Each structure stands twice: as C-alpha cells, then as structure tokens.
Amino acid sequence: MTVSAVEELKKLAHIDLFIEARDQERFIGRPFYLDFGRMRMLSNDKWKHNVRGVPAGAFLLCVYDGEPDVEEAILVRVLGPTKLPTDNDVVAAMVDYYKEAIPDQPKEKLDSYTRAEFQFSGMECRVIGTFYRDLGGKVRLAGDIDNFYSPNNYLVYKPTEKMLEYVVNFREEGIPGGIGDDRIGSVRYSSSLRHGGDEGAQMFVSALDFLGKRTALFGMTRTGKSNTVKKIIQSTMNISKSGVSIEGVPIKPVGQIIFDVNGEYANENQQDAGTALFAQYPDEVTRYSEMEKPGFRVMKLNFYRDVIEGFRMLAAILADDSADYTRAFCNINWDEPAASNKGESTRFARRVAAYKCCLFKAGFTVPPGETVKFASSKDIRNSNIAGLTNRPEDGISLEDATTWFEAAWANYKDSAGPFEQSRQATGREWADEDLQTLMRFLSRRRLPGGNPSESGYTKLIPGRDLHTSTVGKGFEEEILDLLREGKVVIIDLSQGDPMIQRVYADRVASRVFADGMSRFVKNEVANFVQMYFEEAHNLFPRKEERDLTIVYNRLAKEGQKLRIGLCYATQEVSSISSSILKNTQNWFVSHLNNRDELREIEKYYDFEDFTESLRRATDKGFIRMKTDSNTFIVPVQVDRFFVPVAT
C-alpha cells in the first residue's frame, strides 16, 4: 500500500460517525415506513439540491434521534421513487395548473404553499445494515438490523465525501489501514456526473480478500474487466512481499498464473497504452506460449509419454476432417482398463503401440530409448510372415513395431494367416475396431492387403510443432516451480485451437491442484497461488455440467483449503457452472446488455438493486463490487492500472 493510501485511511479512523453523520446541511428527509428490509422516506427538491442530488444506488444514513444516549445509524441504499399518500392530489393539482397555463403567455407563479407541496416526493431504500457502538465503545457494522423503532424517531442524511469513504471502506473489524489495503477507485453512483455529488470518495480493497478465494468479473467486452484484473494482480503483488501474517503465520510470496485466451496480457496491444503487465514487472513475469516467440518459453508435450493429452491435441487438429476413417481415428477409446482385466489390458497395449507407430511414421521425433511392448503369439511368430517373427512382448523399437503392424494389416484377412485362423478358433477378431483403425491409418491401406490409397498418418504431420522429444521436466512442472517461488506466469493461449487451449489449461490447473492437495495431506504450509482465467467460458464447465470432479469445480469447492485462489472473467454469467458461482466470494460486475444474464446475476447478494443501471450504463470501468470483507455492494469507478515509478 502506498504512503498516501495509509494517510488517507488514518484520517478515516478519526471520524466519529454518530456526530458527523448528523450534519444538518446533509439532511435529506424523514422515514414514514421502516421494517427489517425496506425504508420509505419523504424528501424534498430543496433538500436534494442542497446535497447535490440523490441518485439511485446512493448510500444514506438513517440516524436514530429519539433518545440522546442511543448511538445507532441504519445504512440504506436508494432504490427509486415511492408513492406518497398525497401523490394523487398533487398530480391532480399539477394537471389543473398545466391546463390553466396559456401557451406563449407569462405563467402565473404558483403560490408558496402549492409550490412547497409540489416539491415533496417519496424514495424507497433497501436496508443494508446498522452502524452501532458496542459495549466496549467500538463502532461496529452489522449486515442487518435487530430492531427498529417508529419511523418518526429517525432523520435521514446523505454522507459527505469523507463520511462516505468511512462507510464504504468499513470492515468487520473496523476501518482498513493495514498491509494489503490498496485504492482500487472511487465511488460512482451513475453514468451521469452532472451534479458532481460526493462520488469522489476513495474505495480501497484488501488483497487478503483475494488470497485463496474465488473472484468473478462479469461484463461485456471493453467495459474494464481486464483493467480490474490487473489492479487485483497488482494488489496481490504488493502484499506478496509485505510479510503480512494470516492467523499469526507470515505469508510466503504469492504465485500468480494467468490463462490468457486472447493474448491481451502476454502481448502488448493498443488498449494497454504502456501498461502491459509483463513490461511493468519484467523481473517477476515469465511468459509461456504454444509457439516459438521471442521472450516466451514454449509449452510442448512429449506425445509418446503423454498419450491421451497428445491425442486430444491431434483430434482437435483433425476436428474439421470429415473422412470416415479420420472420424474413427478421432473417436478411439483411450480409457485405460483395470490391471485385473487381462484381455482389455492386452488390447489397450496394442492400441498404444500402434498409435505410437503412427507418430513415428508422421515424423514425431522419438525420445531416446523409446520402445513398445504388446502381446503377439506363437502362431503369429511361426507364420513365417516377414516382419512378424520378433517378440514384441520383450520390447521392440518403434521402427520394428511399425514394420510389425504394417505386415499384420497386409496379411490380416489371409485365410491361411494367423489372424484369420485366430478369428475362426475364438469366434472374435484378433484386432478390435480401434486397432484396425490404427493399422489402416498407419499403412494408409483402406483394406488389408490393398494398395496405399489414403493420407493416413500424414494427417498428423501438422501436430509435430506441438511435440517435444524431451524426457526431462515438463512445462507444467516448470510453471509449478515458478508459482511456488512467488512469481507471475502468463500462458498465451491465443494461437491455439479451443481444444488445445483446454488441454494446456487443464493440464496446468490439474498439476497445481494436485500439488496443493499433496501439501495439504502432508500438513505442509504452502504459499498462496492465484489463478486467473480470461474468457473463462472457453475453459470452464458449462452451467449444466454436473461432473463435480472437473478440476475447475474442485478448485471452486476445495481451493480455499489448498490456498489456491480462482479469479475468472467472462461476458456471460450463464456460461459458468453454478457450482463455481455458488462458491464465489468476490464479485466485480460491469455493463451487461442482456436480461437473461442480468437475471442470473440477480440470484447473488443484492445485485437486483443494480439491474437497470448495469443494463443502461456502458461506461468503462464502472463496476459494482462486492468483496469478501465488505458487507455490501459498492458501485465504483475503477482506476486505470499503472505501476508507480520508484523514487
């Protein structure tokens, strides 16, 4: 936290709410109805003018004035107008006045009594909580009220700018001011700023609200989500090296990882205007990409070792290929059977061996010492067919294995051959459908014994750029080490197929989760790791997804105990699994133009109070914010991200 921020928060700590809230120049009205959730009040044009307007969403303090020794102030939020008992008479008188007025003639001035009557109006407010002084003399804020008196015992005031800062920055344990508190912006009630109002009140957030917690950012494109994410990252970096303690234990440097689907954090672009994250923190940020690029480390898989993940990438490359045998290749079953199921295990090993032979033929560099093992038979070896005489059970090279499978497919339907003889003896094919598909792909022969007439394995060649023959530490292990050191990692996923994006993201997220779980089980105190997902709908499970074992659902439910935080940004609330939404503590919501999305957001906290303003106000950075330590939602204009120059 900057020195200026500390000084501002110290000033707030010396405010006496119950004295300063009763500023008569800030008087705005009197309640005529009050219950545990709503307040309706009488106001007047003059009173509104004196306080420079009362917009929807404005915070007001309803101060108890019945007895001098009761220190209580009910915090309310303005929702909109409400009807007064005299409204019908006022409207009738107003219409009569309009009728009597002659166009183009000087209007007769209203008498003072009528004019005064016309100026009164009603406002409806939501009860947010209660400020009170406890038995120890300390000011507290409760998220409800435990009692209310007759409305005539209260006066309503609009807080001054400094008082508003006190109100919106109040925490469960009082005013913030410790390590980790950073300014995020200023209070803003409406898109229109004609009256100026008191919306310049500063808003602070605590980075402790984000550590290990779930944070959501919703809003249309270009409404300030990415800038807000940068502010959260900056706040987390500030606290990472502060030595602040949680439950008496100093925190270790916080690791942060950004899954950048659009490449807007990993690369400089026009909207950065010199605020690219990696450029501002060159010593802290490491960038990864799917492709070779200056300044980036490359993420590649060893397709021979990571069979399933590599296959998923190849299937993504072939997604638009409509050939029947290609579709059959993409649909091969890679579910590994139980070791106790000998028959299925034998067939699975053959599939893996044939698939690796396809990679070998397609030019995927073979790791040193790579061999394959699979079951043959004495009858096959004794068939005297060239290429089938060795013992693959003992392990053979990929070159020999390729020769073996090509020979097997060439002689598969030979009536006197070992494979047809096996089928006649057992009543089932020696090679299941998946293995036959692989042998067809490998040999490029549509039928056993036919001529090579298909593209086959050559279709896999575009995937070679995603492969590495390295058998050392994988990229996910490198990333995990950086995170445990408290560094920032940005993964550029902008140049990959959506399926490939998911493969990389799932792999890294799963590795971080597994490491966190391992440390938790061993009772090791790990550092916090914050995970940021831009355009999260491309990676997260859909709303209707019921599989709670998906890594993102597990992160949402179990991440806090593992010290793993989750921050996700998207344009569509409805695209995110309800399991994740229900476990989210921090919310940042900007402009949404769709009523369906607004209905989704209304389900959480009291965002229904902001539905109309979220739909109509399109200002960049105009956010409605609810953080874990704050009792209520605050409308905020988020500051533009920048890194102060050290002096």
Q: Which CATH class is domain 22-158?
A: mainly beta
For all residues of the chain together, what is the average pLDDT?
Answer: 87
Predicted confidence (pLDDT) per residue in 9-62, tens digit = 555 556 788 888 888 999 999 999 999 999 999 999 999 999 988 999 999 999
pLDDT tier for residue 543 given thresholds of 50, 70 and 90 = low
Mean pLDDT of 427-437: 94
Distance from C-alpha of 370 to C-alpha of 360, rounded to nearest angstrom:
11
Is residue 475 scored above 90 in pLDDT?
A: no
Structure tokens at 259: 């899954």
Predicted TM-score (pTM) of this structure:
0.81
User: How high is the pLDDT of residue 548?
Assistant: 65
Cα 335 to Cα 16, 307, 308, 340, 409: the distances in Å are 66, 11, 9, 14, 24
Q: For 208-300+473-586, CATH number?
A: 3.40.50.300
> Beta-carbon neighbour count of residue 263 at 10 Å?
15
Q: By the 8 A CB rule, do 172 and 629 touch? A: yes
Distance from C-alpha of 541 to C-alpha of 554, rounded to nearest angstrom:
11
Helix, coil or strand: residue 303: coil
Helix, coil or strand: residue 114: helix
**Helical segments of 427-540, H only:** 433-443, 475-484, 498-521
Structure tokens at 461: 């060649």
pLDDT tier for residue 576 given thresholds of 50, 70 and 90 = confident
Q: pLDDT over 70 for what percent of the chain?
A: 91
pLDDT tier for residue 371 given thresholds of 50, 70 and 90 = very high
Starting at the earlier edge strand, list the strands of the sheet with 214-218: 202-206, 181-187, 634-638, 622-626, 586-589, 214-218, 564-570, 529-533, 255-260, 488-492, 285-289, 297-298
Predicted confidence (pLDDT) per residue in 91-129, tens digit = 888 887 777 776 666 666 766 777 778 888 999 999 999
Provide the residue ranges of all domains of the chain, joining segments of one domain with +.
22-158, 208-300+473-586, 307-466
Is residue 133 scored above 70 in pLDDT?
A: yes
Is residue 193 scored above 90 in pLDDT?
A: no
